[in-house]
Chain A
Amino acid sequence: MAALLEVRDVARSFRGLQVLRDVSFDVEEGGIVGLIGPNGAGKSTLFNIISGFLASDRGQVIYAGADISGRSVPQRSRAGLVRTFQTPQVFAHLTVLENLIAGCYKHTNTGVLANLFASRRSRSELHRMHADAEAACEKFGLTAVRHRPAGKLPGGQQRLVELARAVIGKPRLLCLDEPSSGLNTGEVTGLMAALERLAAEGITILLVSHDMDLVKVASVIHVLCFGEIIARGPLVEIRRDARVREAYLGA
C-alpha cells in the first residue's frame, strides 16, 4: 500500500542558499512519524512546503495518491492535511469555544446569504457546531476556559486550543510544528498522552520537533540535517547513529 504522504526529491533554495536538497520520505497511514533536526536544518521550510505555504523549486508532495504540489492551503486542508504553527495561531479575539466553532468550517456549508437571513439550515448548523465545539472542549480539558478570549490564555492552553481546533476538522494527516515549545514538563507529558490518543483514533501525525523527549511517541523518525535526510528509523536506532550524534546530539 502506498504511503499517505510521500515527499519526493523536494528541493528549495533561498537566494542561492540551498535549504533543502532532494529530500524524500514517506509517512505511512496510522501512527506518529517524527521529523527532527538541529536549528537551520530546513524543517520549517519542508513543513511549509508540505502544508502549502511555500512552493518547492523541484520535487513533488504526494498525498493520498495525488500530487498536491499545486494545491492551495485551504484545498489541502479540505482533503484532510492540516498543520499547526510553531507559535500558536489562535484567533485571539474569539473565545475558546468560538475558535473551535471556526474549526468546523470545512464540515459545514451554509453560504453568506443563508447566514445573513438566519435560515433554518443555518441555525441548525450553528447548533451542531456549538455542540461539537463543547464536546471538543470537554475532550481537551478546555471546558473551564471556554468563554475566555483565546488570546488571553497562557501559551500551553493556546497550543491545546490550536490542537483541538485542528482535530475538530477531522484531519487525516495532522502536522504539528514544534508543539512542545513553550510548554513545561508536565504539559509535555499531557501533550504526549494526547497525541497517542489521537493516533489511536486513527489520525496520522507528522511531528516536527527538536525535543527528544517528545519524539519518543513517534514510531519512525527522520533526521533532517543541512537540507538532507541523514538517518531514519526508530528512536533507539537514531540515537546510535554516528552521523546523528555528531550533527545533532552534539555527543
Chain B
Amino acid sequence: MLVFTGLYSIAGLGVAFLLGQCGIVSLAQSVFFGIGAYASAYCTTQLNWWAPSGFVIGIAASAALAVAVGWPILRLSGYFLALATLALAMIGQVLFLEWDWLTGGTLGIGGIPKLSLFGFDLRTPQRFYYFVWPVAVLVLWLHANLLGARNGFATRAMRDAPAAAAVLGIDTHVLKVKIFVSSAVLGSLGGSLFAHYVSFVSVDSFTVERAINFLLLAVLGGAKTIVGTVLGAGFVTVMPHWLTGFGDIHPLLFAACLIAAVMFLPEGFGGALQRALRRGREA
C-alpha cells in the first residue's frame, strides 16, 4: 500500500503541479504513466536491456509527446484544455490496446525483472519501499525548489493573472509547455517504477480511470501544497482497500468519503494542514 502511495505521489505530483501552480486540469497523466511502464517493460523483457534504459527511453518518449501535443493544446484554456487532455488519455488507452507488438495488448507484458541497486535486489515490497520513498522525497524536494525560484514565481504569476504575467516578459505559452513536459516526465518515472514493482503491466493499469485517479489525488491533497499530494495519494490508495472490509457497498462508501472530503476540505488535505499549522503558530 505504501509503495503504491509513493508511486502515485510521484506521478500525481505532476498533475498537482499543473493544477495548483498553473491552473491546468490534466487528465492525460495515465498516458505518460503508461509510456514509462511500457518502455521499462519492453526494454527489459523484449530487448533484455539494462533497467535504467527503460526509464530513460520512457522519459524521453513522454517528454517528446508532451512537447508535440502540449504545444498546440496549451493554447487552449479551461474546460477546452481539460477536454483535450481527456482526448489524449482516451487515444492513449486505445493505442496501448491496439499496438500489441509493443504493449502485448490485452495480454500485457509479464516477467518484468525486479530492480536492483548496487547489487542489492529490491525483490520484496519492504525493500522496494525503501527505494520508492527516497525517490518520491527527491521529486518533492525538486518541486519545492522550483516553486521558490524564478520559474516557480513566473508559473504562479501566470496562473493568477496571465495578461499581467505576459507584460512582465513571461512567455506564458512556452512556460506552460515546459511545466507540462516536467509533469509528463514525472508520470513516466512513476510508470517505470510501477512496472518494475508489479512486474506485470497491461492496458487495465493505464485507463482514463487511472488519469482521473491522478487528478483526484491532486484535488484531494490540495494542489497548492506539495505535501498535500502525498496525503492525496495515500487517500486514493489506502481508502478503497480499507473500505473493502465493509463488503459490496465499498464503492459507495468511497464516493461518500470523496464528497465529504471535497465539501469540508475545499483546499484539500494539504490546505487544511497548512491552515491548522498557521492557527497553531498564531495561538
Chain B binds chain A: yes
> Which residues of B have CB within 8 Å of A103?
168
* A154 sits at the interface (CB 8 A): no
Dominant secondary structure of chain B at its interface with chain A: helix
**Given A51-B167, A77-B169, do A125 and B160 touch, yes or no (CB 8 Å)?**
no
Count of A residues near B, CB < 8 Å?
Answer: 43
* A249 sits at the interface (CB 8 A): no
**Given A92-B160, A92-B161, A94-B157, do A82 and B167 touch, yes or no (CB 8 Å)?**
yes
Q: Which one, B1-9, B87-95, B139-147, is touching chain A?
A: B139-147
> Which residues of B have CB within 8 Å of A73?
163, 166-167
* B153 sits at the interface (CB 8 A): yes
Report A153-177 CB contacts with B as 1/0, cut-off 8 Å.
Answer: 0000000001001100100000000
Contact pick for A108, options B150, B165, B166, CB 8 Å: B150
> Which residues of A have CB within 8 Å of B152?
115
* B151 sits at the interface (CB 8 A): yes
Count of B residues near A, CB < 8 Å?
Answer: 30
Question: Quick check: B167 and A83 within 8 Å, CB to CB?
Answer: yes
Q: Which residue of B lies closest to A104 (CB)?
A: B150
> Which residues of A have CB within 8 Å of B178?
112
Q: How far is the CB of B54 from chain A (nearest CB, A)?
A: 22
CA distance A78 to B172 in the complex (A): 14
Question: Quick check: B160 and A122 within 8 Å, CB to CB?
Answer: no
Q: How far is the CB of A35 from chain B (nearest CB, A)?
A: 18
> Which residues of A have CB within 8 Å of B146?
112, 115-116
Given contacts A72-B166, A91-B156, A105-B168, 13 further A-B contacts (CB under 8 A): A51-B167, A53-B163, A74-B172, A84-B167, A91-B160, A94-B153, A94-B157, A102-B156, A102-B157, A104-B150, A114-B149, A116-B142, A122-B145
Q: Which residues of A contact B (CB under 8 A)?
A: 51, 53, 72-74, 77-78, 82-85, 89-94, 98-99, 101-106, 108, 110-112, 114-118, 122, 125-126, 129, 151, 162, 165-166, 169
